[in-house]
Amino acid sequence: MTEKIIGSKRIAKRFANLKAEGRAGLVTFITAGDPNLETSSAILNQLPEAGADIIELGMPFSDPMADGPAIQASSQRALDNGASMIKTLDMVREFRHSDSDTPIILMGYFNPIYIYGVERFVADAAAAGVDGFIIVDLPPEEAEMRAPVEQAGLSFIYLTAPTTDDQRLPTVVEHASGFVYYVSVTGITGTKSASTQDIENALERLRRHTDLPIAVGFGIKTPEQAAAIGQHAEAVVVGSAFVNKLAENLNPDGSAQDSCVEAVLELVRDISGGLTA
């Protein structure tokens, strides 16, 4: 296969390094601005040293239809405390002052991007230091972000699910870049978990259609689960577990306790430990 890199160079380099180290990467999800911008930025900026290899930064949306209760509540907290698309990009810009290697992928729903203006948003995101996008409600059939993202040299990450059969997989991975995100359960975030055997079978099927690295997400909560899945995938995505940990460290009025940042980072270290052991 050719070595021509399509999409984000930072993502490609990170996966190359992980391959050289012989381990799976940890992709961590947090919601931008949850519970407030200051706490969220403090967590974001320390994620790499806690063991995050790639960061998914959630763009809060009022109607997160593919998310479970944890991320719904997280989005709502962020919005209640003034999160916005511009502030999300500000967080990335600040992060890049201290880290120029860890890929950041913005994850969310299309409407806030559509209202911002697709081309303007992609340009602003690229300038802020974003590497890619996962837009849950833009399947390959609705391709309006693809060209601007490709032109900006960034990656549009496609999701594949257990319901994406062999007939459909080529359509989904045709324009994929960076990596392919395998949604391991038919469900919303933070609920069910798939068995390692199911994931192994699914990845075998997926690899018949793509040479890209594969990240597996949905329902992965513990270092043990991450380690088991890391045997088969290039990366493991953990989201709701961190969001739940954050929620456990909030005051009744929704403000962050002193322990909040450290509690989330500690869980990142634990799960990362499962992948580097």
Determine contact, residues 175/210, Cβ cutoff 8 Å: no
How far apart are the C-alpha atoms of 115 and 193, rounded to whole Å?
A: 34
Determine contact, residues 155/13, Cβ cutoff 8 Å: no
CB of 101 to another protein, least distance (A): 29
Question: Is 266 tagged catalytic?
Answer: no
- Across the beta sheet with 104-108, the strand order is 155-156, 132-135, 104-108, 54-58, 25-31, 235-238, 214-217, 180-183, 159-160
Closest of 266, 178, 181, 270 to residue 225, by C-alpha: 270
Report the residue number, 95 or 109, with the smaller CB distance to another protein.
109
Give the contacts of 66 (CB within 8 A, at least 6 positions apart): 136, 137, 188, 189
CB of 1 to another protein, least distance (A): 25
CB of 189 to another protein, least distance (A): 10
CB of 230 to another protein, least distance (A): 23
Could you list the residues that contact another protein (CB under 8 A)? 61-68, 72, 79, 84-85, 109-116, 136-139, 141-142, 158-165, 168, 172, 183, 186-188, 191-192
Two tokens at 170?
Answer: 């080529």
Catalytic residue among 34, 53, 67, 234: 67
Question: Is 80 tagged catalytic?
Answer: no
Report the residue number, 42 or 118, with the smaller CB distance to another protein.
118
Report the residue number, 52 or 130, with the smaller CB distance to another protein.
130
CB of 200 to another protein, least distance (A): 20
**What is the radius of gyration, based on Cα positions, of the chain?**
17
Report the residue number, 32 or 268, with the smaller CB distance to another protein.
32
Catalytic residue among 34, 56, 131, 234: 56
How far apart are the C-alpha atoms of 159 and 179, rounded to whole Å?
A: 10
Closest of 183, 190, 242 to residue 30, by C-alpha: 242
Report the residue number, 16 or 65, with the smaller CB distance to another protein.
65
Coil/strand/helix, residue 216: strand
Provide the annotated active-site residues.
56, 67
